[in-house]
A and B are shown apart, each in its own frame.
Chain A
Amino acid sequence: MSDALLRVDALRIALASNRTTYNAVEEVSFEIGRGEAFGLVGESGCGKSITALALMGLLRQPLSLAGGRIVLDGEEIQDASPAEMRRLRGKRIAMIFQEPMTALNPLSPVGRQIAEMYVLHEGMGWTEAMDRAEEALRQVRVPSPERRIRDYPHQLSGGMRQRVMIAIALACSPELLVADEPTTALDVTVQAEIIDLMAELCAAKGTAILMISHDLGLVANMCRRVAVMYAGRIVEAQPAEAIFATPRHPYTRGLINSLPRLGERSRRGRQKLQEIAGTVPSIAGYPAGCRFNPRCPEATDVCLAVPPAATPLPADGLVRCHHHG
């Protein structure tokens, strides 16, 4: 078998409602190699964030894992006990969230929150762990780390807090970093710095990244391969350059063509933006067949009736469309 670090196979996540159970995520499969940066792109509600929570073993009611396998380094972890997952989280898989203010403990100095990682996972004493925490803050380029380790989260700016989150996540040199919209809450110039920092540190530690974002441009810039999710399913996966050069799913094409791109007006004059018609369906109202069919310019009868199967593409890619041409 392949030597993938993480293999997700036919993942299904159920959302329990009053009377019925919906599949919030289904047939989601992908692989991430050691040290590889893999991107998962989609709009709000498409299931990308709960896919990340499933990997971390953090799904809570009304969400639950309803099927599929999650294989980390050859070992199935989808049925691991809470205690086993606690040992895994932070040590081998770590996560960064969108909003660092709500992810950090407001009542604990940031140095202590970093040091906790060494104490819990590496059995270090607190004194030594605090020294390591200072070093970790220096690595994420927080100025004057010797003073900052005593600061509480509210004393830091948004960018600094996200650096602290990165320091916590990478403290134990995990094999996989799950980053869920890590820069969405930050200003654009700060965003660029944080992304560069994350990529650089992960490359140095050999940590693989699962980058989750709604921003296709950002993900394609940083990741080797990209998967696009729509309404709970992966509709296309390709290497980053290929997804822009030859997008195969009408949704991906729509996303790429609908956004005004910097420099485009200089090159071609102002063109009317290509719209994707309609709106994102809600989970209770997923259409039959291909879930993109009400918005798809190429939809035919088969799209209304039959959910498209995944057609393999080169380089471990796939497209889920009846007319992928």
Chain B
Amino acid sequence: MAEPLLALDDLAVHFKVGSALAGGVRTLKAVDGVTLDVKPGECLGLVGESGCGKSTLALAIMGLIQPTHGRIRLDGVDLSQRQRLETARTVQMVFQDPYASLNPRQTVRRTLADPLRLHGVTDRAEIDARVKDMMDRVGLRPEQADRYPHEFSGGQRQRIGIARALILKPKLVICDEPVSALDVSIRAQIINLLLELKDEMGLAYIMISHDLGVVEHVSDRVAVMYLGRIVEQGGWQEIFENPRHPYTRALIAAIPDPFHRAAVSARAKAKGEIASALNPPPGCHFNPRCPLKADRCVAEVPVLAAVAPGHRAACHFRDRTG
């Protein structure tokens, strides 16, 4: 079997919050025992609501946060053994807010050329050619290269953000909510662009989103996170057609769909709100909101176990389908 491009093994990122003087130090388990892999050229959708740890997970993969526990292997080499620049050539990120994530005082040319220089490309003709080629690929006109971010619309700025992520020809791109800050009528352009570039450049994506319509459209496989843990993962078809974790079902039931009453009934909707990650419920973290809750769910943490080949769910009632 081919070596995965990215392998997370029992990864945990914990933060210490508070102080010994004011109420004591507490541990926030932002990511808690996540095992995942991403194959070359594959798109993994990562779904979950605010505070579930999906962005912390992204930062850990980027090498921007030290994991508390567990291992991250990128291209077969442990992240802690890799050079930072080498990691940057392999994995890059596209951020949610194209207004905040671009330097307002740098032209597009500088934004795209700086990474090349930093990574040892010194020939000006080559830099110019690569900047032009990348602008072309993301649908920007090369004559716009000397403009500043404020001269572009939101959709165009996100194109600049994508060009910056791809200029070093990475193998893996983490897209953190890449369209949710954009106008609705612009989103389709950016989603289509990301899928085209993936095929052209043979990229693997981790697509972080709370929009299940987008995730279903772009993903090969999907992982669902809740309060730091993966609660279900599998092929996109299994996750959307035969979800086995009540939380996945609740997410699907929450999407208003004026065309088809969802395959998941209204009873699947979750009650109440997400607990604080500082004080998660014992056992299964989802138990206070779960329609299937039983005593066992409070006493015992369900393991992420297979329901079918490649499809795993962390629920004591994973064999129930509704």
Residues of A within 8 A of B (CB): 43-44, 157, 159-160, 187-193, 195-196, 214-218, 220-222, 240-241, 244, 251, 254-255, 258-266, 270, 272-276, 279-280, 295
Not counting A216-B184, A244-B259, A260-B191, a sample of 8 additional A-B residue pairs whose C-beta atoms are within 8 angstroms of each other reads A157-B273, A187-B273, A187-B274, A190-B273, A193-B271, A241-B258, A259-B187, A264-B217
> Could you say which of B80-88, B130-138, B235-243, B302-310 contacts chain A?
B235-243
Q: Would A255 and B184 count as touching, CB distance under 8 A?
A: yes
B265 interface residue per 8 A CB criterion = no
Please report the C-alpha to C-alpha distance between residue A255 and residue B188 in the assembled complex, in whole angstroms.
9
B279 interface residue per 8 A CB criterion = no
Interface positions of B from 184 to 226, Cβ below 8 Å from A: 184-189, 191-192, 195, 210, 212-214, 216-218
B270 interface residue per 8 A CB criterion = yes
Q: Would B217 and A270 count as touching, CB distance under 8 A?
A: yes
Q: Which residues of A contact B274 (CB under 8 A)?
A: 187, 189-190
Q: Would A261 and B273 count as touching, CB distance under 8 A?
A: no
Q: Would A261 and B259 count as touching, CB distance under 8 A?
A: yes
Given contacts A159-B273, A262-B257, A266-B240, contact A275 B49 (CB under 8 A): no
Q: Would A192 and B253 count as touching, CB distance under 8 A?
A: yes
B36 interface residue per 8 A CB criterion = no
Please report the C-alpha to C-alpha distance between residue A220 and residue B258 in the assembled complex, in whole angstroms.
7
Interface positions of B from 130 to 184, Cβ below 8 Å from A: 153-156, 183-184
Q: Would B184 and A214 count as touching, CB distance under 8 A?
A: yes
Q: Would A259 and B254 count as touching, CB distance under 8 A?
A: no
B30 interface residue per 8 A CB criterion = no
B256 interface residue per 8 A CB criterion = yes
Q: Rank and list the top 6 A-B pairs by shortest CB-CB distance, nearest first.
A: A260-B217, A258-B188, A192-B254, A221-B256, A187-B49, A273-B188
Please report the C-alpha to C-alpha distance between residue A193 and residue B271 in the assembled complex, in whole angstroms.
8
Q: Would A43 and B183 count as touching, CB distance under 8 A?
A: yes
Q: Which residues of A contact B25 (CB under 8 A)?
A: none
B121 interface residue per 8 A CB criterion = no
Residue of A nearest to B47 (CB): A188
Contact of B237 among A214, A255, A260, A266 (CB under 8 A): A266
Residue of A nearest to B263 (CB): A263
Q: Which residues of A contact B217 (CB under 8 A)?
A: 260, 264-265, 270, 273
Q: Would A262 and B216 count as touching, CB distance under 8 A?
A: yes
Q: Would A263 and B256 count as touching, CB distance under 8 A?
A: no
Please report the C-alpha to C-alpha distance between residue A254 and residue B315 in the assembled complex, in whole angstroms.
40
- With both chains docked as a complex, state the minimum distance between the C-beta of A298 and any C-beta of chain B, in angstroms: 16
- With both chains docked as a complex, state the minimum distance between the C-beta of A269 and any C-beta of chain B, in angstroms: 11
| 22 A-B contacts (beta carbon < 8 Å) | A157-B273, A188-B255, A189-B251, A189-B269, A192-B254, A192-B256, A217-B257, A220-B256, A221-B257, A222-B256, A240-B258, A251-B185, A258-B187, A260-B214, A261-B259, A262-B240, A263-B263, A264-B213, A266-B237, A272-B192, A275-B188, A276-B186
Please report the C-alpha to C-alpha distance between residue A106 and residue B192 in the assembled complex, in whole angstroms.
43
- With both chains docked as a complex, state the minimum distance between the C-beta of A259 and any C-beta of chain B, in angstroms: 6
Q: Which residues of B contact A264 (CB under 8 A)?
A: 213, 216-217
Q: Which residues of A contact B255 (CB under 8 A)?
A: 188, 217, 262
Q: Which residues of B contact A295 (CB under 8 A)?
A: 185
Please report the C-alpha to C-alpha distance between residue A157 and residue B278 in the assembled complex, in whole angstroms.
14
Please report the C-alpha to C-alpha distance between residue A127 and residue B260 in the assembled complex, in whole angstroms.
49
Q: Which residues of B contact A272 (CB under 8 A)?
A: 192, 195
Q: Would B258 and A43 count as touching, CB distance under 8 A?
A: no
B252 interface residue per 8 A CB criterion = yes
Please report the C-alpha to C-alpha distance between residue A188 and residue B254 in the assembled complex, in whole angstroms.
6
B250 interface residue per 8 A CB criterion = yes
B77 interface residue per 8 A CB criterion = no
Q: Which residues of B contact A195 (CB under 8 A)?
A: 256
Please report the C-alpha to C-alpha distance between residue A67 and residue B186 in the assembled complex, in whole angstroms.
32
- With both chains docked as a complex, state the minimum distance between the C-beta of B225 and any C-beta of chain A, in angstroms: 13
B50 interface residue per 8 A CB criterion = yes
Q: Would B259 and A189 count as touching, CB distance under 8 A?
A: no
Given contacts A260-B217, A266-B240, contact A189 B189 (CB under 8 A): no
B65 interface residue per 8 A CB criterion = no
Please report the C-alpha to C-alpha distance between residue A261 and residue B240 in the assembled complex, in whole angstroms.
12
Q: Which residues of A contact B184 (CB under 8 A)?
A: 43, 214-216, 255, 258-259
Select the residue from A159, A221, A240, A259 with max chain B CB neighbours within 10 A: A259
B301 interface residue per 8 A CB criterion = no
Q: Which residues of A contact B269 (CB under 8 A)?
A: 189, 192-193, 196
Please report the C-alpha to C-alpha distance between residue A285 and residue B215 in the assembled complex, in whole angstroms.
35
Please report the C-alpha to C-alpha distance between residue A193 and residue B269 in the assembled complex, in whole angstroms.
8
Select the residue from B156, B184, B213 with max chain A CB neighbours within 10 A: B184
Please report the C-alpha to C-alpha distance between residue A217 and residue B255 in the assembled complex, in whole angstroms.
8
Select the residue from B50, B185, B217, B253 with max chain A CB neighbours within 10 A: B185
Q: Would A255 and B185 count as touching, CB distance under 8 A?
A: yes
Q: Would A273 and B240 count as touching, CB distance under 8 A?
A: no
B292 interface residue per 8 A CB criterion = no
Given contacts A43-B183, A273-B191, A276-B185, contact A261 B257 (CB under 8 A): yes
Q: Would B213 and A44 count as touching, CB distance under 8 A?
A: no
- With both chains docked as a complex, state the minimum distance between the C-beta of B215 and any C-beta of chain A, in angstroms: 9
Residue of A nearest to B250 (CB): A189
- With both chains docked as a complex, state the minimum distance between the C-beta of B255 and any C-beta of chain A, in angstroms: 5
Contact of B189 among A191, A255, A263, A275 (CB under 8 A): A275
Please report the C-alpha to C-alpha distance between residue A190 and residue B269 in the assembled complex, in whole angstroms.
9
Please report the C-alpha to C-alpha distance between residue A274 and residue B187 in the assembled complex, in whole angstroms.
10
Q: Would B186 and A279 count as touching, CB distance under 8 A?
A: yes
